[in-house]
Amino acid sequence: MAKQSFVTGQVLTAAQLTSLQQTAMSGGAASAKTANYTLVAADAGTAISMTSTSATTITVNTGLFAAGDTVFIQNLGTGNLTITAGTATVNTAGSLILPQYDGGVLYFTSASAAIYFNYFSNAGKVLQVVSTAKTDTFTSSSTSYTDITGLSVSITPTSTTSKIYVMCTINGTSASNQLGFFQLMRDSTAIGIGGTAGDRTRASFSSNLGRTLQQATDCMGINFLDSPATTSATTYKVQMRSTSGTICVNRSGDDGDFNYYARTISSITVMEIGA
């Protein structure tokens, strides 16, 4: 039931009292929305329910609500729902991006400002998982870091406070006894690498490849917790370099001629963890 104004001596019906009780307890029937929506004055004291498979927004403007007004908002759709400050100010200790089955109360402190109280904490929860598996091969003899083609993944965090947990596994070998270096990248920034020490190569992980006549690949990898502090699409990938010779990913050979004793798989997986 929307916010009401009463006069002295007014008699309420049973249905009105029931609706008022439900509203006070954040219950009652919700106004269903399936697309982007801008709150109106009549939404004070009501519940808004978004149902959409696509990302949607609920916009909050000034001059529509008074201090103490509330609007309950829930997202039942698979697409993320974002509470957007239009001309009003909206603050929260959590996130204004609501995944499916998330919800909370928008509480107005004035006609131009509100606080969003999230009913469900995302702290420590896995909010989304994105993974890429590389099953073909990649070969490089570059002594500078080079992208491993096909071993990258993109994720769009739902909050700037979220952490991104990165797990990477690579199978590699070399035609000779080569030291292979690998580094984890967030867009164009190297992350999860060792500290500076003289002329030593900084890397996320490394291995002495090809020391067994290339008859087997080395399984290498890293787990790293990153803090990208963004809600923009972010790409995680792996680069590699050698000391001088050729390094191969996802294949092994014999005596340096790469007769392909085995074909293996490499992968990179990222998980958004709520803060």
Domain boundaries 126-273, CATH class: mainly beta
- How many alpha carbons fall within 13 Å on the CB side of residue 193? 20
Cite the DSSP H helix spans in the chain.
Answer: 14-24
Rounded CA-CA distance 138/247 in Å is 8
Tokens encoding 12: 């309420």
pLDDT tops 70 at residue 26: no
Q: What is the pLDDT of residue 137?
A: 92
Q: What is the pLDDT of residues 245-263, one digit of tens each?
A: 888 899 876 555 555 567 8
Q: Furthest-apart CA pair in the chain: how many Å?
A: 98
Give the mean model confidence (pLDDT) for residues 61-77: 93
What share of residues in the chain are helix, strand, coil (percent, to 5)? Answer: 5, 45, 50
pTM for the model stands at 0.66
Is residue 110 very low, low, confident or very high in pLDDT (cuts 50, 70, 90)?
Answer: very high
Cα–Cα distances (Å) from 88 to 61, 115, 160, in that order, read: 5, 11, 21
pLDDT tops 80 at residue 138: yes
Per domain, the residue ranges of the chain are 14-118, 126-273
pLDDT tops 70 at residue 211: no
- Which DSSP string corresponds to 209-250? ETTTTTSS-EEEEEEEEE----SS-EEEEEEEEESSS-EEES
Q: What is the pLDDT of residues 34-56, one digit of tens each?
A: 999 999 999 998 899 999 999 99
Choose which CATH entry (2.60.120, 2.40.50, 1.10.760, 1.10.10) describes domain 14-118: 2.60.120
| CATH topology match: 14-118 vs 126-273 | yes
